[in-house]
């Protein structure tokens, strides 16, 4: 096999970008001139619409309308934003609500699942979950005198039993981008009578998820990665329609009340997904997320996935032909069917490498002990940028 030259890679990238049906969507983002941004898997960039909406919210809704804006717009936001997220994760309208952060929502989801499986004394979790997921699962287990069993994702189907109340796992691994077999895990948990809580932090907005098709019980995710809501953007929580009538959660805040403005001293849960709310919505950050979600307007999940695969396949091909000879190892699956929208490369001195990349205007991130992660966000990253990234990595790798 003949290895392509960098000029040939660039020619191919330009052809792919010229044929890209999502090429015009990049203009919806305000990415600084001279920056190649490959960290949307950690923090999505600013959209022009978020800036416009935040300005209007501050100057008109807050400054001019003041408290009247609650009735005019803000009270409906959590449901409205949830319904914008729902089609990105294969959920029906009215089953997703925007609230709090991922950790709090995971706590609510796990507590709800445990309450619906009385008499069971075990939580099974993917040992490679993002640490906050493990911390939250352990805290829930400790509060109920339960056992937390940590296993590899591939071992979950054989680990669940009649003891298991709930299984929790992350659909796309935050380090490697490995896509878990969500259908097998969900089916195995249900066969054992357990519930499943999925973390979609590295899926929503980049990797297809079909919560309804999976018959998933509960799911959570954040708003600031591929959804581009901004730093600290609120998260979301999903509950299957079949459990909503019976689901409870421990944070009985006033926004989860059936009639918040009745100001009753007793708690009555709201009907439907609103019962998973807690307290007052964070208006500015939720407004930013709502605006950012307009970047998905006119974009299909199939288009997102096709471009994500195209970008990561090109990058992995350049790793195979150019980068592994200068010290890079592949930390993500080569099979695109098992890979999310970021690629991890192992490199000795990876932390310094990320700093060197930043000095050259290329933003990526580092995860110990030696992984450098590159997020390929289909809404704004291009094939030509991908070649420029790989070329700089080859240069830096040769210099180390």
Q: Tell me how many domains the chain contains.
A: 2
Read off the pLDDT of residues 212-248 as tens digits, 9 standing for 90 and up.
Answer: 999 999 999 999 999 999 999 999 999 999 999 999 9
Alpha helices for the chain (secondary structure H): 6-18, 48-56, 68-72, 77-85, 102-115, 131-143, 156-159, 182-191, 211-214, 241-244, 283-292, 301-318, 350-359, 383-399
pLDDT at 400: 72
| Mean pLDDT of all residues belonging to the chain | 97
CATH number of residue 318's parent domain: 3.90.1150.10
- Domain shared by 223 and 91, yes or no: yes
With CA atoms as reference, report the closest residue to 207 among 167, 172, 245: 172
Read off the pLDDT of residues 345-376 as tens digits, 9 standing for 90 and up.
Answer: 999 999 999 999 999 999 999 999 999 999 99
pLDDT at 143: 97
Domain membership flag for residue 35: no
Read off the pLDDT of residues 148-163 as tens digits, 9 standing for 90 and up.
Answer: 999 999 999 999 999 9
- Domain shared by 330 and 261, yes or no: no
Give me the residues paired with residue 169 across strands: 198
- Domain shared by 123 and 230, yes or no: yes
- Domain shared by 307 and 283, yes or no: no
Domain membership flag for residue 36: no
Distance CA 235, CA 289 (A): 9
Give the end-to-end CA distance of the chain in Å, rounded to a whole number: 27
Domain membership flag for residue 241: yes
- Domain shared by 128 and 256, yes or no: yes
Domain membership flag for residue 45: no
- Domain shared by 273 and 328, yes or no: no
Read off the pLDDT of residues 179-223 as tens digits, 9 standing for 90 and up.
Answer: 999 999 999 999 999 999 999 999 999 999 999 999 999 999 999
Looking at residues 290-296, what average pLDDT do you find?
Answer: 98
Q: Of 236, 269, 296, which residue sits at a domain end? A: 296
Tokens of 238: 């999903």
Q: Of 238, 265, 296, which residue sits at a domain end? A: 296
pLDDT at 3: 83
pLDDT at 99: 98
Give the distance, in angstroms, between the CA of residue 366 and the centroid of all CA atoms in the same chain.
Answer: 18
Tokens of 389: 């990234």
- Domain shared by 136 and 257, yes or no: yes
With CA atoms as reference, report the closest residue to 110 among 128, 78, 135: 135
Distance CA 51, CA 49 (A): 5
The residues that are catalytic are 130, 199, 224-225, 373
Q: With pLDDT > 90 as the criterion, what percentage of the chain qualifies?
A: 98
- Domain shared by 244 and 336, yes or no: no
Concatenate the DSSP letters of all residues of 113-126 into one string: HHHTSTT--EEEEE
Domain membership flag for residue 1: no
Instruction: Answer whether 0.85 is exceeded by the pTM.
Output: yes
CATH number of residue 206's parent domain: 3.40.640.10
Domain membership flag for residue 42: no
Side-chain half-sphere CA neighbours of 293 within 13 A: 23
Read off the pLDDT of residues 71-82 as tens digits, 9 standing for 90 and up.
Answer: 999 999 999 999
- Domain shared by 133 and 242, yes or no: yes
Domain membership flag for residue 152: yes
Tokens of 77: 């936001």
Contact 42, 365 (CB under 8 A): yes
Tokens of 266: 């007793």
pLDDT at 399: 83
- Domain shared by 212 and 338, yes or no: no
For residue 307, is it left (φ>0), alpha (ψ between -120 and 50) or beta? alpha
- Domain shared by 169 and 303, yes or no: no
Q: Of 245, 261, 296, which residue sits at a domain end? A: 296
Q: Residue 111: give the domain boundaries.
A: 51-296
Domain membership flag for residue 304: yes
- Domain shared by 245 and 350, yes or no: no
């Amino acid at each position: 096999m003949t290895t392509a030259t960098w000029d040939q890679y660039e020619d191919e990238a330009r052809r792919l970008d010229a044929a890209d049906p999502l090429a015009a969507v990049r203009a919806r983002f305000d990415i600084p001139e001279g920056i190649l941004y490959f960290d949307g898997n950690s923090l999505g960039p600013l959209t022009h619409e978020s800036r416009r909406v935040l300005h209007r919210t501050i100057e008109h809704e807050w400054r001019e309308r003041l408290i009247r804006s609650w009735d005019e717009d803000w009270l409906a936001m959590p449901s409205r934003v949830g319904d914008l997220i729902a089609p990105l994760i294969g959920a029906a309208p009215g089953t997703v609500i925007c609230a709090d952060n991922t950790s709090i929502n995971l706590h609510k989801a796990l507590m709800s699942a445990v309450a619906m499986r009385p008499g069971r004394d075990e939580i099974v979790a993917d040992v490679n979950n993002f640490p906050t997921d493990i911390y939250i699962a352990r805290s829930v287990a400790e509060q109920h005198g339960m056992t937390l069993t940590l296993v590899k994702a591939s071992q979950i189907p054989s680990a669940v039993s009649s003891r298991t109340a709930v299984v929790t796992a992350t659909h796309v691994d935050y380090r490697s981008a490995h896509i878990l077999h969500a259908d097998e895990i969900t089916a195995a948990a249900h066969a054992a009578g357990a519930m499943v809580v999925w973390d979609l932090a590295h899926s929503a907005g980049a990797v297809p998820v079909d919560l309804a098709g999976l018959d998933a019980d509960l799911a959570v995710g954040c708003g600031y990665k591929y959804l581009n809501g901004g730093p600290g953007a609120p998260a979301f929580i999903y509950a299957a329609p079949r459990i909503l009538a019976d689901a409870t959660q421990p944070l009985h805040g006033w926004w989860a009340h059936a009639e918040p403005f009745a100001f009753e001293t007793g708690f009555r849960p709201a009907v439907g997904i609103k019962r998973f709310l807690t307290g007052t919505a964070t208006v500015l950050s939720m407004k930013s997320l709502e605006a950012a979600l307009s970047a998905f307007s006119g974009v299909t999940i199939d288009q997102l996935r096709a471009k994500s695969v195209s970008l990561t396949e090109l990058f992995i091909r350049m790793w195979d032909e150019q980068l592994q000879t200068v010290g890079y190892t592949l930390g993500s699956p080569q099979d695109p069917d098992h890979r999310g929208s970021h690629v991890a490369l192992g490199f000795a001195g990876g932390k310094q490498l990320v700093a060197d990349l930043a000095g050259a205007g290329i933003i990526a991130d580092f995860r110990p002990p030696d992984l450098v992660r590159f997020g390929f966000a289909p809404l704004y990253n291009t094939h030509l940028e991908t070649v420029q990234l790989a070329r700089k990595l080859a240069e830096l790798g040769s210099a180390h």
